[in-house]
Structure formats: C-alpha cells, structure tokens
Chains A and B, each alone.
Chain A
Amino acid sequence: MSIPPVDAELALAEIHARRQQVVDTNLVPRWFWVSIAALMLLFVAAVETGAAWVLATGSVVYALGLSALILAMVRHARVQVRPELIGLRGALAIAGFTLVLVAAGIGLGFALEAAGAPFPATLGCVPVCLGLALGGPRLMARLRRIMLARPLAGAR
C-alpha cells in the first residue's frame, strides 16, 4: 500500500509525539527529588544528634516517608519507558550524577570532621541534598533530550 508523503510525514510526527508523551509521563517529578532530599537531611541530622529518641523518631519518619514516596511513585507509574531509550548515554548520566553526589557528600563530611566542625555529616549532606533537589530535575531534562533524540525505529 502506498500513501501520500504528507500522510507518511504526519504518521511519523504522530509516532514522535507519542514517544514524547511516554517520556514526559515517565520522568521523576520535581516534588520527588525535593522530598527525598529533605528526608535524607532529616535522617542524617537525627543520626548525628546521638540522642536516642531523636534517632528513633528520625528513623521512623525516614522509613515512613520513603515508603510513602515510593508507593506514590509506583501508584502513579502508569507506564514504564523502555530502557533501550535511555541507552548508554542516559545510564552514564545517571551514574555520573549519583557518583558526584556520593563523592561530594562523603568527601565533604570527612573534611568537615577533620576540621573539627560540628555536625560534619549533616553539613556535608546539605550540598548533596541541594544537588538532589536542584540536579534531579536537570538530570530528568537531560534524559528527556537523550530519549527523544533516539531514532524512532531504533530503540530496541
């Protein structure tokens, strides 16, 4: 069967638009990153106080909060994007983002401890949490560009 070129082009545009729809639906929302960052900071601070009741309360709040966040994400996950769309470049972006944050947090924490700063882990965690809250959405934007740039028929 042959169709007019304009129809073929419209069909290709539709295919691209549907991929964009899937990608946009699948991205981790900004509120998730901010919430994770807040929970992490709260937990680290609770641990570092050394007070048993603060640690217990912080642990419970962290566990419940994290569970609620994950549950909310799972309930709202109506679609799972194909990993092939993310590809090696996307995987490297995710790994790089994670490694930078972990290295920054650990490095800063130890440096602050060596310098005798009070609450070194909590202070070291602050830039990590900022990185999560601000960098998470930027990572999502980068992954979005990567996924939309892949060939329409080559994402297998």
Chain B
Amino acid sequence: MSRFDDLIHAPTRLSLVSLLAATDWADFKFLRDSVGLSDSALSKQLTTLEEAGYVEIRKSFVGKRPRTSARLTPQGHTAFTGHVAALQEIVARAGLAVLPQ
C-alpha cells in the first residue's frame, strides 16, 4: 500500500533509510561516511528515526572495538515500502519514462 512518508522523505533521512533498507545491519561509520554527516548529526537523525519506531540501534564489540550498528525495523520497512510505492505512483501518473521498479 502506498503512503507518502514525510519523515522518510527528508533528504538525509531518505538516504539513511534507503541504505538501511538494503542492509540487515549497517555500521554507524558506514552510514556517517556514506551520507557525509558528522557523528552528532547522524546520531540526531537516527534518534528521530528510532523514536518513530523505524530504526533499531545496537551496540556491540568486534574484538575489543566497540561497534554501533543500525537496522530498519519491520515498521520501518513497511513505511519505506509504502513511501517507495507513493513515489512510483507520482512518477507513473506524470508519465515519466524512467521508473525504477
């Protein structure tokens, strides 16, 4: 079911959620470097998504190194799927040729 999601559509969060939608878990540094945010800015965005129930944050260790990871929750996946469907509908209605599935 298509549902445009304002929370996801904000440019930085769209990038973050898109990255997370393709992953099981994504490393904090990977997200930071991919989107080009500072640690604090990324934390803020992830917290916003976490408060909406879209993202789960996990802290673990690889060897002795701490690692923070994030993943999309089932609720986040549902919202993302609905948002993609809404975007596709907008594009299809306009009859634009390039339409990723």
B-side interface residues toward A, CB under 8 Å? 4, 6, 9, 14-15, 18-19, 21-27, 29-30, 34, 62, 77, 80-81, 84-85, 87-88, 90-91, 93-94, 96, 98-101
Contacts and interface: CB of A to CB of B under 8 A. Distances in A.
A9 B91 contact: yes
Chain A: interface residue count, which band? 35 or more
B23 A9 contact: no
Q: Which 7 A-B pairs have the closest CB atoms?
A: A5-B94, A18-B18, A78-B30, A153-B84, A78-B27, A8-B90, A22-B22
Interface centre among A3, A5, A14, A19 (most CB of B within 10 A): A5
Nearest to B93: A5
Interface of A: 1-3, 5-6, 8-9, 11-19, 21-23, 25, 74-75, 77-83, 85, 150-156
A153 B81 contact: yes
Given A5-B91, A15-B84, A78-B27, 8 more contacts: A3-B9, A11-B9, A15-B14, A22-B22, A23-B22, A78-B29, A79-B25, A153-B80
